[in-house]
Amino acid sequence: MESLTFAGLGVSAPVAGALAKAGIEAPFPIQGMVVPDALAGMDILAKSPTGSGKTLAFGIPLVERLERGGPTPSAVVLVPTRELAAQVAEDVSAIAAARGLSVAAVYGGVPIPRQAKKAASADLLIATPGRLEDLCQRGAVKLDRVTALVLDEADRMLDMGFQPQVDRLVARVPQNRQTMFFSATLDGEVGRLARAYTSHACRHELNTGSETVTDIDHQFVPVTHESKLSTLIGLLEGSTGPSLVFVRTKHGADRLVSKLRAKGVEAVAMHGDLQQRARERALQRFESGAVTTLVATDVAARGLDLERIATVVNYDPPEDGKGYLHRVGRTGRAGRSGTGVTLVLGEQQADVSRIAARLELSDEFKEQGMTIAPPRLVYRSKRGRNSRW
């Protein structure tokens, strides 16, 4: 069977050449699904996880369909976080330059005047909802001639409470536009929004075959309060590449970084209280390899498109299965293997075991001698409220 190529998908020689120069020779599955329909101008509903190559799945059609010298902006990509905005802009800029198009990213934490000038003159605008709405209200950016709109990681935008802003921004964009909607799920409220924002959309779902990423070695390690830090250090020292460590709180991230540095392990923190310049500096040190351990909270890590994470450690266990998949899914991406380790205190074993059971990871949980707790029993009282036995 002949292998799929970008040229075979209808991608132009300049864009295919820019991809090859970046080391991208063949399409990822989600790109093979989406690109032909998107190039034809169809609306898109795509269910695809982070790390599957979805940025180029919408980036390539946007760049191919935009005309140099058209209205600015001609296309808008909405993303949930400033880190993802910067990452998407970086990923798309090379192929946009191949067609003489300009790209700008706008997000909070950066002075507005500097961003406003770039946003107003960009062919393709990558934005977080809050900052873009602010620019529109100031009259710095107009969306009335936008021909293509992308909502990337739409489920996370919904989870983070951005729906009102997204609704208002969508209302500013012409109805006769192309819309591409990318999300890790298309069920429930996310699915309703997807249908509301699109028209006669082509639906594509990347089937990973399992809810849990299969290229990840899942480990659950019992620890005590006294052994927790030393266990983490051992995991970091044994990692084959960069490590991402999740904690529950902002203060917890700072405290853990201080403890690691005191033990000779260089690490940086990532959380919502950091100024944008400090966040960018921490990410730059981590991505350059100057620091191999990044300690982050869930909110701060949303949208981070970090490559080649070898090990994810849940220093503090996640709240639920969705949180587990979001965290551990930072590794084992784009065909690479990875390791996800959850440190489990005695008092946390029951709750973590239930998460493991729901994700069909019971065998991995029991390998360390821990047992799976029975599901919580729920009864309905006469007043109709759920209660636990």
pLDDT digits (tens, 9 = 90+) for 69-118: 999 999 999 999 888 899 899 999 999 999 999 999 999 888 898 899 89
With a cut of 60, say whether residue 212 has pLDDT above it: no
| Domain 216-366 superfamily per CATH | P-loop containing nucleotide triphosphate hydrolases (3.40.50.300)
Q: Quote the CA–CA distance of 137 and 73 in Å, as a whole number.
A: 16
Portion of the chain with pLDDT greater than 90, in percent: 56
Name the band, by pLDDT with cuts 50, 70 and 90, for residue 387. Answer: very low
Q: Do domains 6-205 and 216-366 have the same CATH topology?
A: yes
What pLDDT, on a 0 to 100 scale, did the predictor assign at position 389?
A: 29
Nearest alpha-carbon partner for 253 in 221, 301, 211, 183 = 301
CB 232 within 8 A of CB 239: no
Number of H helices, E strands in the chain: 17, 15
Q: Quote the CA–CA distance of 121 and 79 in Å, as a whole number.
A: 20
* Whole-structure pTM value: 0.64
Tens of pLDDT, residues 224-245: 999 999 999 999 999 989 999 9
Nearest alpha-carbon partner for 205 in 188, 186, 189 = 186
Portion of the chain with pLDDT greater than 70, in percent: 89
87: number of CA atoms within 13 Å, CB side? Answer: 23
What pLDDT, on a 0 to 100 scale, did the predictor assign at position 83?
A: 86
Report, at the CATH architecture level, how domain 6-205 is classified.
3-Layer(aba) Sandwich (3.40)
Nearest alpha-carbon partner for 304 in 282, 273, 275, 277 = 282
Domain boundaries, the chain: 6-205, 216-366
Name the band, by pLDDT with cuts 50, 70 and 90, for residue 321. Answer: confident
Which of 174-183, 195-204, 364-373 is predicted most confidently?
A: 174-183
Name the band, by pLDDT with cuts 50, 70 and 90, for residue 333. Answer: low
Q: Quote the CA–CA distance of 19 and 150 in Å, as a whole number.
A: 21
Higher pLDDT, 16 or 50: 16
Higher pLDDT, 349 or 335: 349
Q: Give the pairing type, strands 268-270 and 148-151.
A: unpaired
